[in-house]
Amino acid sequence: MTNAQVLRSATDSAAEWMEIKAGKVKAGYHADLVILNKNPLENISHTRSIYGVISQGKYYNQTTLNSMLQKVKEANNMSRRVSIDRYL
């Protein structure tokens, strides 16, 4: 598959399969989207170069995203410790 086909299957085609109106950025649509630093059509690994995210009309910059990710990691680690402690 080309990079364009991979991106389409992960967005527009996936939304179509799930029967939801998503996967398109268009005037009048409410978009949740990822803003990238680099073009994923050139290299699919550029999908990891996230600049920011727009979700439910709110913009999240890289600093906020990193903070959110750290909190999720900490919660997961805490959950694992609680689960392990239960069996000790």
- pTM summary value: 0.68
35, two tokens: 């803003």
Structural domains counted in the chain? 1
Q: Is the pLDDT of residue 83 over 80?
A: no
Say if residues 1 and 9 touch (Cβ distance below 8 Å).
yes
Q: Is the pLDDT of residue 31 over 80?
A: no
Say if residues 56 and 32 touch (Cβ distance below 8 Å).
yes
Q: Is the pLDDT of residue 86 over 80?
A: no
- Domain holding 24: CATH number? 2.30.40
Residue range of the domain that includes 22: 3-87
Quick one: pLDDT at residue 59? 94
